[in-house]
Amino acid sequence: MKYTIEDIVKNDLCIGCGVCVSESKDSSMIWNKYGFLVPDITKSFNKDAIKVCPFNPQPDKEIEDEDKIAQYFMEDTPYKDHDIGHYHEIYVGYSNKFRPTSSSGGIGTYIVEQLLQQKIVDHLFVVKEKDGEYTYQWFDSIEDITATSKTRYLPVSLEKLFLEIDSKPGKVAVTGIPPFLKAIRLKQYYYPKYQEKIPFLIGIICGGWKSKFFTDYLAQKAGIKGEYSRQEYRIKDEASYALDYSFGAYDDNESFHQMKMKLAGNMWGTGLFNANASDFSDDVTAELGDISLGDAWINPYMKDGKGTSLFVTRSVLADRLIQEGIQKGKLNLEKLPIQDFIKSQLGAFRHRRVGLKLRLKELKKSDKIVPFKRNRFLVKAPIEYQIVQKQRRIIRYLSLKLWQEHKDVDKFEQQIESLLKGLNRKTVWYHRFQKIRRKLGLKTI
């Protein structure tokens, strides 16, 4: 049987990248009932539209996974690692100019500024505010470059990228989370004219793709009863540690409401409001970007509330831009051993990779279609981790369902509390078992 985009959406494997919309005459991205953007599958798609889908269960052999795609696009990359893919160098630090106005160390903004300034590209396709909301947009103003800064934890889509790119003179750089980059690479593979047209991709490491419900929840939790706009997800507290950031948004009366994220509890390690497809992406570090950006969630950097970037250069061009920045004194960076980089994303590696086989089994058991995944990551998880994973999957699904039903912070928290406590208990047991395994000299994860 040959699968289609319709099957991807119906099986809840759509991440909402929107690239398939360019493979349809009249489809567009629409909001589904759980707060995610998905293509309108009541419209018709080209017969091979699924080829650009990052979760295609039947990809063409030559570019069947991130390894093969990287092999095709990253010939000039000197190193290859089992966990982080092709790379040139790993760095930690910040941009002197953009750190204060960025989510992390400001390397994202520094890179896009350089791409425009050095005329490597003529346009950016990046996430930016428009009428109080955030969407992917075309942008080319070096003077206003900080308007592109900051992390936006809500569904956005590349829908317009391939619908409009042909009318944009010159070259384009795009930012995106791992499955979005994969979709762009697939499109470039099947339409080689886009290889030259898009010479640079900025990967955003992503611990979980959240529903719009996540932001609705945070806005209510911060005290906004009705509509909100211009939300800020990463308000730094320079006097505190890096993870001690706040969420804030404007209400209808233009009052700004702000809340420390720690009041919302553990939003990233629990599966809350996550997209199902996000659980099936085994690319943790945005392996298909020229550069891949993340946060330095390791000491001593974590102690610094000003924020520190941790990132990988993969192409020669990306590394040149970074080296120039260091030499000109614009970037304050040091090289980081690969083990420290992996350590900073350990939770994501464990979740995405060790838990993957179990989740694929779950799909097969429930007669759902199964995306194609790299065999080398399909490992058997220890039983104590399987238990944690199962609870996370329940929380993921129920958090979306409960918010859809109530849209009320108090009712939501009342109903999700026991599940979160259950996850906590299971996680404690998981750590205990791992400790025992370690003492016995057995393999741990």
Ligand X SMILES: Cc1cc2nc3c(=O)[nH]c(=O)nc-3n(C[C@H](O)[C@H](O)[C@H](O)COP(=O)(O)OP(=O)(O)OC[C@H]3O[C@@H](n4cnc5c(N)ncnc54)[C@H](O)[C@@H]3O)c2cc1C
Per CB under 6 A, residues contacting ligand X are 98, 102-109, 112, 126-127, 148-153, 156, 175-177, 204-207, 209, 293-295, 309, 345, 348
DSSP letter (8 states) at residue 351: I
Q: Can you say how many angstroms the Cα of residue 121 is from the centroid of all Cα atoms in its chain?
A: 23
Q: Which of 213, 216, 211 is nearest to 227 (CA)?
A: 216
**Shortest distance, CB of residue 295 to ligand X, whole angstroms?**
4
**Shortest distance, CB of residue 202 to ligand X, whole angstroms?**
6
Question: Whose CB is nearest to ligand X?
Answer: 207
**Shortest distance, CB of residue 299 to ligand X, whole angstroms?**
15
What's at 361, amino acid-wise? K
**Shortest distance, CB of residue 441 to ligand X, whole angstroms?**
32
| Residue ranges in 328-369 assigned as alpha helix (H) | 338-344, 346-349, 356-365
**Shortest distance, CB of residue 151 to ligand X, whole angstroms?**
4
Closest CB to ligand X among residues 7, 99: 99
**Shortest distance, CB of residue 236 to ligand X, whole angstroms?**
10
Contacts of 230 (CB under 8 A, 6+ apart): 129, 132, 249, 250
Q: At what angle do helices 212-221 and 383-406 cross, to 10 degrees?
A: 70
**Shortest distance, CB of residue 340 to ligand X, whole angstroms?**
13
| Residue ranges in 107-177 assigned as alpha helix (H) | 107-117, 161-164
Length of the chain, in residues: 445
Closest CB to ligand X among residues 39, 176: 176
Closest CB to ligand X among residues 27, 102: 102
Strand partners, 312: 90, 292
CA–CA separation, 202 and 115 (whole Å) = 11
**Shortest distance, CB of residue 158 to ligand X, whole angstroms?**
9
Contacts of 274 (CB under 8 A, 6+ apart): 208, 209, 210, 211, 396
Closest CB to ligand X among residues 174, 387: 174
Closest CB to ligand X among residues 156, 183: 156
Closest CB to ligand X among residues 307, 371: 307
CB atoms within 10 A of CB 302: 16
CA–CA separation, 274 and 307 (whole Å) = 24
Closest CB to ligand X among residues 73, 297: 297
CB atoms within 10 A of CB 349: 19
CA–CA separation, 200 and 315 (whole Å) = 9
The token duo for 320 is: 């040149």
**Shortest distance, CB of residue 222 to ligand X, whole angstroms?**
19
DSSP letter (8 states) at residue 3: -
Closest CB to ligand X among residues 55, 136: 136
Closest CB to ligand X among residues 231, 427: 231
Indicate the pairing of strand 133-139 with strand 200-204: unpaired
